[in-house]
Amino acid sequence: MKNRTGRGGPAAGRTVGDPAGPTIGPTAGERARNGRPWEPGRTAPLLEVEDLSVVFDTARGPVPAVRDVSFRLEPGEIFGLVGESGSGKSTVLSAIMRLLPSVAVTDATTLRFRDTDLLRLDAAGLRSVRGTGIGLVPQRPMTSLSPVTPLRKQLRWFLGDRDPAEVTELLDQVGLRAVAERLDGYPFEFSGGQLQRLLIMLAALARRPALLLADEPTTTLDATVQAQVLRLLLDLRDRLGIGIVFVSHDLGVIAQICDRAGVMYAGRLVESAPVGALFDAPRHPYTRALLRALPSRYTRGERIKVIEGSAAGANRIPGCAFAPRCPRADAVCGEQVPALRTVAGSLVRCHHAEEDAA
C-alpha cells in the first residue's frame, strides 16, 4: 500500500550535450575494474524510491507532475535523471527532500533513505536528515539564497562558527578562493556560476552528506569550471562513497559521470539502464529520439533531427504519453499506459520495446 503526504497527510504537506566530450573521470566500467572502497550490489541501498507520484493541486486542476517513478541507489553510485523541461526531475528531488509546497500530494510505496522512511518523518526528523544525511544542490542558485543578506552571514547560518581558514579551504575546493575576501557582498554581486559553486560547496562539502541530490549543478558553469566541479563530485564519491542523483539536460555529462541513468517523460521514467546500455542500445523511442537530436552526431550543414511536437499536456493524455510524437505508435499505445518491463537488461516503459529489441 502506498504512503501519502500532502494535504491532510500525516506530516502536513511537505512532503543533452555531447557524449563524446572531454573525459571528466573514469567511466563506470573503469572504476569497477580499478576497485573502489564500496561494493555496489552488496551493500544496503542508500535510497529506495518506489511508485513515487506527486500531484500539484492547483486552481486550474490537478497537475500530475511525477507518476509511478521507481529507482534505487547504492552507496557510491551516481544515478542520472534526464528529460525535457517540465518532465518532473526537480519534483522528484524535492519529494525526496520533502520540500514540496502544501499544494503537492505525494504518494509512494517506498521512499526510504537508509533505514529512514522519509514519508513518515516529522519536522524534527526532517531537520536531522536534511543537510547532514541528504544534501541538495538546488536548480536555481539565485532563488535559493536571501537577496538581502550578505553571503558571509548566510554561510554562518549553514556552517555555524567555523574557523575562517576552514571556510577558505572549502571555497578553494570549488574554485572560489578569490571570493573569500568579499563575502560581505550580496548574492547579486556574484556571478551565477559563483553562486552555483557556493551551493555545491554547502550541499556536498560542508557537511558531507551520504546522499547528494544535484539538480543541474553544472548548467550555468563554463566548460573548465564544469569539469572541475564534476571531478570534485567524482572524488567525493570515490573517497567517501556518497551516492548522487544527478539531474542534467546534458547527455554528455550523464554519459561521463553516471553509472546508471533514467529518462523521464511527462512525469514517468520511460527508460532506466546502465549508461553504457542507454547510449549504445536505447530501447525507448523517446530515448532514441533524444540521442538522435544530439548536435554532435551531425556534420556541419546536416539537418538535426529534432523531436517533432511538444510535451505540453502530455501528462494528461490517456495511454502512452509519448504517443502523439512517436513514429511507432499504434492503437494500443493511445489506450493503455505501458508498464515498466525489463528488456535486455534495461527497464523500459513501451508496448513495443521487446519487438524493437528482437
Residues near Mg ion (CB under 5 A): 90, 139
* 100 vs 129, beta carbon nearer ligand ATP: 100
Residue 248 interacting partner from ligand ATP, ligand SF4, Mg ion, none (CB closer than 5 to 8 Å by kind): none
* CA dihedral (116, 118, 121, 125) positive or negative: positive
* 75 vs 83, beta carbon nearer ligand ATP: 83
Burial zone of 183 (CB within 10 Å; 0-12 exposed, 13-18 middle, 19+ buried): buried
CB 87 within 8 A of CB 266: yes
Angle at 90 between CA 257 and CA 100, to 5 degrees: 140
Q: How many residues bind ligand ATP (CB under 6 A)?
A: 15
For ligand ATP, the binding residues in 96-115 under the rule CB under 6 A are 101, 103
Residue 63 interacting partner from ligand ATP, Mg ion, ligand SF4, none (CB closer than 5 to 8 Å by kind): ligand ATP
Told to check if 88 binds ligand ATP by CB under 6 A, we report yes
Residue 84 CB, nearest distance to ligand ATP (Å)?
7
The Cβ of residue 101 has, within 10 Å, a number of other Cβ atoms equal to 12
Provide φ and ψ at 62, rounded to 5°: -70, 140
Told to check if 350 binds ligand SF4 by CB under 6 A, we report yes
* 281 vs 293, beta carbon nearer ligand ATP: 293
Residue 224 CB, nearest distance to Mg ion (Å)?
24
Told to check if 341 binds ligand SF4 by CB under 6 A, we report no
Provide φ and ψ at 135, rounded to 5°: -105, 145
Told to check if 311 binds ligand SF4 by CB under 6 A, we report no
Give the pairing of strands 211-215 and 243-247.
Answer: parallel
Told to check if 90 binds ligand ATP by CB under 6 A, we report yes
Told to check if 320 binds ligand SF4 by CB under 6 A, we report yes
* 20 vs 312, beta carbon nearer ligand ATP: 312
* 97 vs 320, beta carbon nearer ligand SF4: 320
CA–CA separation, 99 vs 109, rounded Å? Answer: 18
Told to check if 91 binds ligand ATP by CB under 6 A, we report yes
Interface segment toward ligand ATP; rule CB under 6 A; list 81-89, 298-306, 330-338, 349-357: 81-89
Q: Long-range contacts of range 156-165, CB-CB < 8 Å, 24 or more positions apart? A: 158/131, 158/202, 158/206, 159/202, 159/206
Residue 143 CB, nearest distance to Mg ion (Å)?
12
* 98 vs 283, beta carbon nearer ligand SF4: 283
CB 263 within 8 A of CB 287: yes
Residue 99 CB, nearest distance to Mg ion (Å)?
13
Looking at the DSSP assignment, which residues form a beta bridge with residue 56? 63, 104
Supply 110's cell numbers: 517506498
Interface segment toward ligand ATP; rule CB under 6 A; list 86-94, 221-229, 235-243, 301-309: 86-94
* CA dihedral (166, 172, 178, 182) positive or negative: negative
Told to check if 265 binds ligand SF4 by CB under 6 A, we report no
Residue (of 261, 277, 275) closest to 79 by Cα position = 261
CA–CA separation, 146 vs 345, rounded Å? Answer: 45
CA–CA separation, 212 vs 134, rounded Å? Answer: 6
Of the candidate residues 11, 24, 28, 65, the single one contacting ligand ATP (CB under 6 A): 65
Residue (of 193, 294, 230, 295) closest to 80 by Cα position = 230
Residue 63 CB, nearest distance to ligand ATP (Å)?
5
Residue 93 CB, nearest distance to Mg ion (Å)?
8
Told to check if 350 binds ligand ATP by CB under 6 A, we report no
CB 337 within 8 A of CB 261: no
DSSP H or E stretch at residue 141: helix 141-144
Chain residues that interact with ligand ATP, rule: CB under 6 A: 56, 58, 63, 65, 83, 85-91, 101, 103, 139
Residues that bind ligand SF4 (CB under 6 A): 284-285, 320, 322-323, 326, 328-329, 333, 338, 350-352
